[in-house]
Amino acid sequence: VPIIQDEGVALLRQLVQIKNPIRILEIGTAIGYSALNMARFSNAIIDTIEINPESYQFASEFISKTIYKDRINLILGDALDVDLDNQYDFIFIDAAKAQYIKFFEKFKRNLNQSGIIFTDNLIFHGLVTEEIHSRNLRQLVMKIKKYNEWVVEQEDFDTYIYNIGDGIAISIKK
């Protein structure tokens, strides 16, 4: 299961400490590694959405054995079908790369002013800057490039893409 890289998680941990969010939304729980990191370095309630039932089950069991279990709410489903009424100070988008624009568009209304959207994998193992021969991979990389261009153009957000870990965009709602 792919999880956030060391440099990326270091930045995530520091950002949640600086921001001290009341509520965090994560899209893409996987085994719960990043959710646990965010729980450990904040006092936030964390809602985290996972589409894969096996990953959801694994993460539920993993998180239930920790002292953070009461602050992490796992939601099973496709994030694009999950409607949430909560307002968040921090949103971590870390699910299907091809859908990043859709996740961002859908959940930005749940983000408070000065809230942060954190998106990972924007360099995608360096492939965004390399020449690729597989057609599927090339299409995915095109979508990531498109997201990179799109996200910096969003006028209601102040965004910068950092060459940290696998490439991270920090977008702050104006």
Q: Which is nearer to ligand SAM, 39 or 111 (CB)?
A: 39
Q: Tell the smallest beta-carbon distance from residue 79 to ligand SAM (Å).
A: 4
Per-residue H/E/C for the chain: CCCCCHHHHHHHHHHHHHHCCCEEEEECCCCCHHHHHHHHCCCCEEEEEECCHHHHHHHHHHHHCCCCHHHEEEEECCHHHCCCCCCEEEEEECCCHHHHHHHHHHHHHHEEEEEEEEECCCCCCCHHHCCCCCHHHHHHHHHHHHHHHHHHHCCCEEEEEECCCCCEEEEEEC
Measured CA to CA, the distance from residue 128 to residue 138 in angstroms comes to: 9
CB of 2 to ligand SAM, least distance (A): 4
Residue 40 vs 174, nearer CB to ligand SAM: 40
Smallest distance from the beta carbon of 80 to ligand SAM, in angstroms? Answer: 6
Q: For ligand SAM, which is the closer residue by CB, 46 or 111?
A: 46
Select 19 or 97, whichever has its Cβ closest to ligand SAM: 97
Q: How far is the CB of 82 from ligand SAM (least distance, A)?
A: 8
Q: Output 47 or 50, the one with its CB closest to ligand SAM.
A: 50
CB of 113 to ligand SAM, least distance (A): 25
- Binding stretches for ligand SAM (CB under 6 A): 2-4, 27-28, 30, 33-34, 49-52, 55, 78-80, 94-96, 99
